[in-house]
Structure 1
Amino acid sequence: MIRKDVLLRNAAQALNTAGIEDPRREARLLLGWASRRDFSQLLGMDVVDDEAEARFEIALARRVAREPMAFITGEAGFWTLDLEVSADTLIPRGDSEALIEALLEVKPDRNSVTSVLDLGTGTGCLLLAALSEYKAAFGLGVDLEPGAAALAARNAHRNGFAGRSSFFAGSWNSALNGRFDVVLSNPPYIETADVAALMPEVAVYEPARALDGGPDGLNAYRVICAALPNLLTKEGCAVLEMGIGQIDDVAAIGLEFGLVEVLRHRDLGGIPRALVLRSAQGGGK
């Protein structure tokens, strides 16, 4: 048994030395997870039992090594969802919720969407968030990594969408039959030369294939935009995520393939994060 305040103080010092922002908060989050208590229950604790302390110390060592909190706990929140995460995928980020906000802006009628495709589905966060808003829709998620496709399928089951979704492993160049009312994608968009300089939580622990967008960061958009005219229904739209300063370039790539800009949407930090495109001539039936 050890006093909670002593454990948290020592942990915060270790996290601070490791260069982690807000070390006191991180220490409390780790202890809450290790002791299986929520914040209010944690406040009422004076001592930590041996089992929780051992679990905490293992988790603390991982966090001091800059492993992301979500990989330690195995969970992350996105939109209204509770998701399992793993090293097979990127951790869902709040910035990506801008894509769902943009989609709701251009498709306010919740009955107007019956089919959704998510390219590079990862945890399935974007697809499942869209299904949570469009109750009549069925979703298809594609990811190059089989482990990611399996993870997304588990998240669909976890959140009650298993009957309205399907996932498979394959490349964006794979033949996809049919057209979709909505195509979502958060593709790799970091320039190759910049990947190694990202914060350790990202550069060391998250999969490089989901980060590296090629020399200019735009390789994936060229592939996606080339495919979109054959993937969208007549009134369909694509909602793409991009990094800082990329939105004009992505819009220009879209124009090369007959796609016109419908909307730009900023994330909570004010960065243009989501671009909505549609076919200039309309898609299929």
Structure 2
Amino acid sequence: MSDNGLGEFLRARRAGVRPEDVGMASYGLRRVSGLRREEVAVLAGVNADYYTRLEQGRERNPSPQVLDTLSRALCLDPDARAHLFRLTGTAPGRELVRAPRAVGAALRRLIDGYPHTPAFVVDRSLDLLATNALTDALYAPFEPADNLARMAFLDPAARHFHTRWEWTAQAIVAALREATGFEPDNPRIPALVAELTEGSAEFGWLWKAHAVRGKTHDAKEFFHPEVGALSLTYHAFDVREAPGQQLVVYHAEPGSSSAHALTLLGSVHATRRQPEPRAGG
């Protein structure tokens, strides 16, 4: 990845804002999509040359006040605004630390205590660090089921498994982009991005958009080859004892066809895990 993450982010977000979005009149022949640099500078109340230096990477230490005005000028939502602050190392109240890989024994017991719903732990690079039995059953179509981004973009099973694949792809890329702000020195993330860019043109296009969004909660639509359609919601919880890890729990509406399908899926895979009886035993 480039060492000018701030400049790339500003350029990408500037390209996504039209003059009419911010109450500005459009004039002259526009060679670029979105706002011109001079227009962003006016909206943010900064010198145009200073803003140009920010995009070019010649100025890397804007004040929190400048970042705040740029956030408003570029219409950034809370996730994107926080990402902008992290890119400059000035995120208020957040220490930029690398998420640990090890999952605590108590947390492993917790996810195993959800026998009727998938539960798992991921880090910021979306590596699956710990999974319960029903998660293993849910992600059985993937070989291997090791990283949510690699599974979605590089495994042939993904397009059939994720019935809203385009939405899933956008959410995954936005989560990875957020991770670069939290862990700018983690070599795992650029290595993963390089692998995905080489293997998937769709990932490359989405990565260049610099969209940022953290995992919180959402609806998910799956099609599992063994039990059919699954409509689930998930909630993601920060693991306080291991910053950067998240516990993700899926949920089906009680009494729904998806709830019954999850029960069936768990039963099928539990039966498969039972050892074969010995001959003559």
What TM-score does the superposition give when structure 1 sets the normalisation length?
A: 0.28
Q: Which has the larger radius of gyration?
A: 2
What TM-score does the superposition give when structure 2 sets the normalisation length?
A: 0.29
Higher strand share: 1
Higher RCO (Cα < 8 Å, 6 or more apart): 2
